[in-house]
Structure 1
Amino acid sequence: MSIRRKDTLVFEKPPVIAAWAAVGGKREGEGPLAAGFDLLVEDSSFAAENCSGWESAESMLQTKCAELCLRKAGISAREVTLAFAGDLQAQCTASNYAMRWLGVPFAGLYGACSTMAEALCLSAAFAGAGYSERTLALTSSHFCAAERQFRTPLTYGGKRTTTAQWTATAAGACLLRPAGAAGVPVLSVTFGRVQDYGVHDINNMGAAMMPAAASTLLAYFHAFDATPQDFDAILTGDLGKVGSELLRTQMYREGYDLSNHWDCGCLLYDTDRQEVQAGGSGPGCSAAVLCTRVLPRLQRGEWKRVLFLSTGALMSQTTFLQGESIPGIAHAVELGTPKGEKDG
């Protein structure tokens, strides 16, 4: 069971992330986390799989990631009791079509780039309450599909600003089990509140999402009288270089030193060497960093306690064209080291 403290659920008997997997594309394979991926594909169109377009290619990306995660967990799709999944496509179609293969109870999510943390929060809550024995948290993004939907088709050749971010072609999957199973424990989850500080620039998602990250962090710190130094690492995704600097400045004004903060949008790529402008974004960005960098370090005992936040910009093509500002959301997942692992 869990204890509610303001916006946070604290698990008396923490559920665990028993298995995970990450799949990426060519650009992700050229980045600093390439060695941690379970699968990297050179052809992000999945032409060999007879995909009809970028959208169906993203469904294939997500399907392969789920397959790898379940294979590492040593279970079949039939043994999954519930799946929480989402993506950036309209009506979450990449996830919906991937679920045609999985064939399990499915709850679709839309949290934009916050979807991985949202899926983990819900999966942990269901696992912790005994509602689901084997829960799959899954998300993805695809650069080409996202550009066509939110900005301009690739053939248009539009100029990208320095504050823009590169949507990751990546997917991440985690299988959650109730307490007692082997894996990385989920100590608590914090559900964020929508924040809107009037940012209208669709090419500056970091500035739009930063207030949500600050809000969720402050809510957690105030609820537990905690500080950033209580953690080995605090990770956000995906504020990029611009939003990360804004977050550190804002938290310093609030009296908190975020010297142990990293952003998934700056970790997935080498922002100095790769042409990704301010860094990575998309639901697949924080999901991939979680599965290639964060969970392995916790499993090995190199980190003992981590706060993982995914941030999302909740606009749509319609609201953007209507001149609406961009609201943001951030959910947080507190992760620990498996019992018996060495200290970091």
Structure 2
Amino acid sequence: MIKGKQSIEFENTPYVIGYACTAGKKEGEGPLGSYIDTISEDAMFGMQTWEEAESHMQKLTAQTLLDKSGLTAEDIRYIFAGDLLGQLIATSYGIMDLQIPLFGVYGACSTMGETMALASMSVAAGYAPKAVALASSHFASAEKQFRFPLEYGNQRPLAATWTVTGCGSVVLSEDDSMHDGSGKRAHIRVAGITTGKIVDYGVKDSMNMGACMAPAAAELIAQNMSDFGAGDDYYDLIITGDLGLVGRTIILDLLERKGIHIEDRYSDCGIEIFDGDKQDTHAGGSGCGCSAVTLCAKILPMIEQGRLGRVLFVPTGALMSPTSFNEGKSVPGIAHGIVLEHV
């Protein structure tokens, strides 16, 4: 199943038999609002702290996923999940009550791609008949950890992105049978993955995530296309995780230099999830929840309906911490690629 230098092409392809997402009020007011399963008007989700709110959002999303898929927690062998908080506390407290064996995953904002890759590998190898991949972020908990308390009221530069309050999750299965009582077969499969490398162009501006992550995404896309022998028209859509408007310009320029021309079939989840003309999000959306919600609210339904035949989903991550930032370190990037196909 090894394909090229960094990819896997699955012989026993895992199928996506369910997906669900939850988001906050601001995300619900964006272009994808009508496709999100649950929208909370309360940013606290009824909890006492921002961190508890994110945990509750994870728990709600996971339960919605199981309900929509006609499954119970006992049907899931493993759950691969992560968030942006230190020690993955949103995940630890959010998933705990489900009592599903957990692999906690940290890939910064690329976490949805990493959880899907690891879950797909487990299913394809026969280690898990069914596995869940999940990732979340919360605007307030992320701002509190990485930047400033909300009460500080600092000004945001135009290159900054808005951390999405959202969570997305998928069920991956070894067979295509749906369990929701519809009697239908799954129409989405994970055909392959490409694992990214850490790429560091020396950017130190932590408010400009697009510039930090775009080089890693460009390297990943180029490697994926090389590994799979893909031309510019191989994918109906190539969508990155949260490069935003600034990162979009950079990645297309970097790919052009490599002789890859995908502008007519390229998009970014950070651009898709908010309305740049009506919502004050500057360069777009970011965070683990950005790609996770966009995937589950828009991309997977389009693949399921046959409106997209083959998609390269490329969540992107900036590998930083408050410590590395305060010590003046640069912000390396990483990206992971998931090849999704209509069946």
Q: Same-fold call, TM > 0.5?
A: yes
Distance 2:250 2:307 in 1: 28
Distance 1:25 1:264 in 2: 16
2:298 maps to 1:293: yes
Within a 5 Å distance, the mapping from 1:325-336 to structure 2 comes to: 325-336=330-341
Deviations 1:147-198 (A, max 9, x none): 0000000000000000000000000010100144332100001100000000
Q: Could you tell me whether the CA contact under 8 Å between 1:228 and 1:234 is conserved in 2?
A: no
Q: Could you tell me whether the CA contact under 8 Å between 2:15 and 2:173 is conserved in 1?
A: yes
Q: Which amino acid aligns with 1:234?
A: I
Cα displacement (A) at 1:224: 2.5
Q: What residue in structure 1 maps to residue 74 of structure 2?
A: 78
Moved more, 150-159 or 10-19: 10-19
Q: Which amino acid aligns with 2:81?
A: A
Deviations 1:13-64 (A, max 9, x none): 21111100010100001000011100001001022xxx22000000001110
Q: Which amino acid aligns with 2:82?
A: G
Of residues 88, 93, 98, the one that matches 2:84 is: 88
- Classify 1:240/1:77 alpha carbon distance in 2 versus 1 (closer, same or farther; 3 Å): same
Of residues 163, 172, 176, the one that matches 2:172 is: 176
Q: Could you tell me whether the CA contact under 8 Å between 2:135 and 2:168 is conserved in 1?
A: yes
Of residues 189, 194, 201, the one that matches 2:198 is: 194
Q: Could you tell me whether the CA contact under 8 Å between 1:126 and 1:132 is conserved in 2?
A: yes
Q: Could you tell me whether the CA contact under 8 Å between 1:128 and 1:179 is conserved in 2?
A: no
Q: Secondary structure at the match of 1:173?
A: strand
Q: Secondary structure at the match of 1:301?
A: coil
Cα RMSD (Å) of the superposition?
0.9
Cα displacement (A) at 1:226: 1.2
2:58 maps to 1:62: yes
Unaligned runs of 5+ in 2: 178-184
Q: What residue in structure 1 maps to residue 280 of structure 2?
A: 275
Deviations 1:312-338 (A, max 9, x none): 001100000000000110000000002
2:138 maps to 1:142: yes
Percentage of pairs with the same residue: 43
Q: Which amino acid aligns with 1:290?
A: L
Q: Could you tell me whether the CA contact under 8 Å between 1:142 and 1:168 is conserved in 2?
A: yes
Q: Could you tell me whether the CA contact under 8 Å between 1:3 and 1:12 is conserved in 2?
A: no
Q: Secondary structure at the match of 1:201?
A: coil
Off by >4 Å, runs of 4+ in structure 1: none
TM-score (norm 2): 0.96
Q: Secondary structure at the match of 1:329?
A: strand
Unaligned runs of 5+ in 1: 339-344
Q: Secondary structure at the match of 1:228?
A: coil
Distance 1:17 1:223 in 2: 23
Q: What residue in structure 2 maps to residue 341 of structure 1?
A: none
Aligned length: 334
Cα displacement (A) at 1:223: 1.7
2:30 maps to 1:31: yes
Q: What residue in structure 2 maps to residue 116 of structure 1?
A: 112
Deviations 1:99-135 (A, max 9, x none): 2111111000100100000000001100001100110
Of residues 308, 312, 329, the one that matches 1:307 is: 312
